[in-house]
Structure 1
């Protein structure tokens, strides 16, 4: 196979109460990677679009190609060569899993070009290395759903234990990205190292409630459980108008609203596409009232994850 093109979707990580253990994929936006075989060994980045020249062109330092090199080393392949084009279709530092989408698209594309020696589950640790390259932490709550699709739960990181759970068919995500940027490393740095027993118990109850609500299609339980008493109170101070935007979403029909990943994007979950669209319009308007431009995406939960595209 001389040419492969793959797409990996954006994701919402943490999902309010599930810091580093919950994540789900949306249908758009996402990143696209094109691979073309070359005669000489080695991986070469020939172009990156949409990054305003900010991402490294060195293959070892870019998350899209770093995962490819890691996979080739694991497979013991030394004579493989390809040219890489990355199309960034979401902002950097957006809280929508930008680096994860690049890593997932890259690892899916090269696995396809090599004849699919690994399953999707087996590709997960390699995609996680892309997160380590980008942010210093190999977490799976973005790469997991981007790679596998659906609503993902990471039960354990050592050993890695990840699975998906069913969600109601009428559940929609509203994703609003304000035109500001938050560095993932900075957003993790401000988190507290210790959590009170009271907050731990409350968070565990919300985690259990959200899982049960999703699996039972109990929208009221989903709404009651979308409460983060540990991470959101700290990270929300980095996002202008956070409280106002969150309240606007809830006032216009959303089940709940919180920070997507490390921010600054906010997400809301709603029952039905009309409620999701109304919540999104209200969120955008609230940002606009404060002089902040924003982009809006409304999507059902993406159950398929990354895909190989045909020309």
Structure 2
């Protein structure tokens, strides 16, 4: 590849936790998502030449997640190669949809393509996690793993990292409602109790196991019965206006389950068909119609593919 050619990579939004899978389960959406453009540079070091789509994100490669991810990859390969990067955000920041994960995943994929694919996709999860560490202080994988691998992904353990791609065993469509309020992940985590009652833990483990079995057996009824959070949703939902009403509306419209995406404030609902998902989206939007809170809605299948190459193009056409 010559220095006038760009790699363009796209990584999608993700839903983490998925009700009963707190910090261990996530799935990819088809949209929205982020793009990262990468090309070789004449001089060593990383330069971020553009950050578009949202205001307030730094172009400092030591502070922006795409620069952090790229530098870690170069360091591990012991390369002094220079890189020029651009970040084009297509998704909101602070939405609970894995914004930093999408940027990190797209950066890891684009740089890997540019350097001749020295890393496997599963290895890229570790590099994308470095972006999450920079963004939130915690190198978690429940967003970056589905962003890179697509479908549903189980993070079984971190020591060592054990990521289990589940794919998309059944057709699934996700309705997402994003109330445009500020909800910091730090606040959403700070209200969580550090100990849980045994009875609630048992019900939660049963739901997570039921969800896994339901996915693998293509049992929509079992999936729906298992999409319940006994522990964290009751505490976190008080931070999201009208959450209870939105959940009730989604379930009444035919959703299999509904919950908080990541740490919120986005609310997700899963349906078996696109038609049902459309009805669910309309029902969720109606709850907020006269609330005075602006919202964005997304409707997406759960895709088999996560991050992907958009194009390899010349600088002039980019």
Same fold (TM over 0.5): yes
The alpha carbon displacement at 1:83 in A equals 1.7
User: For 1:72 and 1:151, how far apart are their aligned partners in 2?
Assistant: 29
Please say if residues 175 and 269 of structure 2, whose CA atoms lie closer than 8 Å, have aligned partners that are also in contact.
Answer: yes
Structure 1 stretches lacking a partner, 5+ long = none
Counterpart residue number, 2:44? 41
Structure 1 CA distance, aligned partners of 2:9 and 2:280?
A: 31
Shift of residue 294 of structure 1?
A: 1.3
Q: Structure 1 length normalisation: TM-score?
A: 0.97
1:292 equivalenced with 2:293 (yes/no): yes
The alpha-carbon deviation at position 185 of structure 1 amounts to: 2.2
Whether the 8 Å CA contact 1:17–1:229 is kept in 2: the answer is yes
Query: 1:179 & 1:86 partners in 2: Cα distance?
Result: 22
Q: What corresponds to 1:233 in structure 2? A: 234
Q: TM-score, normalised by structure 2?
A: 0.95
**Alignment match, 1:98:** 99
Report the CA distance between 1:161 and its aligned residue.
0.6
Q: Work out the number of aligned pairs and report it.
A: 309
Instruction: State the match for 1:9 in structure 2.
Output: 12
50, 63, 74: which one aligns with 1:61: 63
CA distance in 2 between counterparts of 1:101 and 1:170 reads 23
Could you say what the CA RMSD is over the residues aligned between the two structures, in angstroms? 1.1
Matched residue, 2:316: none
- Is the Cα contact below 8 Å between 1:166 and 1:215 reproduced in 2? no
Quick one: which of 20, 26, 50 aligns to 1:23?
A: 26
Query: Which of structure 1's runs of 4+ aligned residues deviate more than 6 A?
Result: none
* Paired residue secondary structure (1:154): strand
Q: Give me the whole-angstrom Cα distance separating, in 2, the residues matched to 1:45 and 1:155.
A: 34
- 1:237-263 alpha-carbon deviations (Å, 9 max, x no partner): 110000001111001110110000110
Q: CA shift at 1:168, angstroms? A: 4.2
